[in-house]
Amino acid sequence: MLTEGQVLDALKDVIDPDLNKSIVETDGIREMKIKDSNVSVKIALARTGTPEQMQLQQQIVNAVKGAGAESVGLRFEQLSDEEVKKHGGADTQSQPGGDSLLSEGTKTTFIAVTSGKGGVGKSTVSVNLATTLARLGKKVGIIDADIYGFSVPDMMGIEERPKVVGERIHPVERFGVKVISMGFFVEDNAPVIWRGPMLGKMLNNFFSEVEWGELDYLILDLPPGTGDVALDIHTMLPHSKEIIVTTPHATAAFVAARAGAMAIKTHHEILGVVENMSYFESKLTGEREYVFGQGGGERLSEELKTEVLGQIPLGQPEIDEKDFAPSVYGKEHPIGQIYSQIAERIIEKDQK
C-alpha cells in the first residue's frame, strides 16, 4: 500500500527551477490523495504555465510512478509572493521568450473556429481547414484551445509530443501543420481541472512561448459556447477572424448565434458559417437524406449578416493504417474537395 511518506520521499529530488529548491522543501506539496494505487497531488510552484513546468510534470509523474503509483493526477497553483521571497525568489511573473505571435505588426491571420454547442464537428472542421490551407501552400499552425475537450492530436494521428529547447516549446508538425494542444501536456488523458486564471495563462503561453516561426494562418479550435476560455481568446486577439460551425438543426443554429454575437461585440470579423452534417448521400443511389433537417446554416448566416462557406455532408475519411489520421480528409475525397473550396474562399476573403 502506497503511503504519503513514500510519495513525499519520491518528490524530494524534484526541483522548482525558479527557486532551485525541492518542491518538498518549499512546502509546494499542497494536497495529496491516495486511493488504492492512484495518486492525486496539488503542487505549488514559483511560476506556472511555463515550458519548465511542462518538463516538471513528466518528472513528477515518473517519480511518483517509480514509488509504486499506477496513475498520477496533477494540479498546479502558484506560491504566494511571500513564499517565493522566503525561498530566495524574486519575480513570479512568467516572462515570455522570443517573438510573440501577439506582438504588434504580426502578419499572421488568426481564424477562430467556434460553435454554440458541442457535438457539431467544430474540431473536425478546424483540423481539415488547417490541413487544407497547408495543402494549398500556406504556412499554418493550429492551437487546440478546447482546453477541456482537446481532440486535435488524436484526430490528426499525432503520437509524439512537443520538444522543449531552452525556454521555447517547439510544436509537433503533421501534414504541414504546426500543432499545439493541451492534450500534449496531460498524462494518460487525465481530466484538466485548472481554474480560469491558470487556463488563461496557459493559452497566453501557447502564443508567446511556442516557436511557431512564420505563419500565414493560425487556426484556433475554441471550446463550444461563450465561456471563460472563448472570452480570453477574444480578448487576446484583437484582430481575429471567426468561422461559426453549426448543423442544419434549428436548435444548433440558434445557440451558435450566441457565439457569433460574441464575435461581433468584440469587433471580430465573421468569415462565414460552415454547416456540418448537412446531409447523408448514398453511395449506391446518390440520393440525399437530410438527417438533421435543413436550413440551419442559411438562417444563421442571415442573422449574422455573413455567408455560408460550405455544407459538409456526413462521411468518413479513407483510413490509411500506415499514415493514420482518423479525421483528415484527402485532397481527392469528395468531402476533401468541399474543404478545398472553403479554404480557397477564406484565402480570397483574407486578401481583400
Which amino acid is residue 58, in one-letter code? Q
54 and 193 both lie in a single domain: no
322 falls within a domain:
yes
pTM beyond cutoff 0.75: no
Q: Residue 79's domain is classified under what CATH number?
A: 3.30.300.130
77 and 175 both lie in a single domain: no
235 and 138 both lie in a single domain: yes
Domain that holds residue 276: 109-350
**pLDDT over 90 at 275, yes or no:** yes
Across residues 261-289, what is the average pLDDT? 85
**pLDDT over 50 at 98, yes or no:** no
Quote the radius of gyration of the chain (alpha carbons, Å).
22
173 and 222 both lie in a single domain: yes
249 and 163 both lie in a single domain: yes
**pLDDT over 50 at 1, yes or no:** yes
Q: For position 233, what pLDDT does the model report?
A: 67
Q: What percent of the chain is modeled with pLDDT above 90? A: 41
Across residues 129-145, what is the average pLDDT? 95
CB 207 within 8 Å of CB 236: yes
Q: At what angle do helices 4-11 and 51-66 cross, to 10 degrees?
A: 130
Cell (9 digits) for 58:
513528466
* Phi, psi torsion values for 291, nearest 5 degrees: -60, -40
257 falls within a domain:
yes
103 falls within a domain:
no
112 or 55: which carries more pLDDT confidence?
112
* Phi, psi torsion values for 86, nearest 5 degrees: -60, -35
Rounded Cα–Cα distance for residues 259 and 242 (Å): 10
Q: For position 131, what pLDDT does the model report?
A: 97
pLDDT tier at 238 (50, 70, 90 boundaries)?
low
310 or 93: which carries more pLDDT confidence?
310
Least trusted range by pLDDT, from 119-123, 135-139, 257-261: 257-261
Rounded Cα–Cα distance for residues 250 and 259 (Å): 15
97 falls within a domain:
no
Least trusted range by pLDDT, from 58-72, 205-219, 224-238, 267-281: 224-238
3-class DSSP assignment, residue 71: strand
Pairing of strands 168-170, 177-181: unpaired
145: nearest Cα among 121, 126, 165, 169: 126
**pLDDT over 90 at 186, yes or no:** no
As a whole number, the mean pLDDT across the chain is 84
Cell (9 digits) for 231:
472570452
Across residues 85-91, what is the average pLDDT? 76
Q: Which of 4-8, 115-119, 165-169 has the highest mean pLDDT?
A: 4-8
Give how many domains the chain has, as a whole number. Answer: 2
**pLDDT over 90 at 105, yes or no:** no
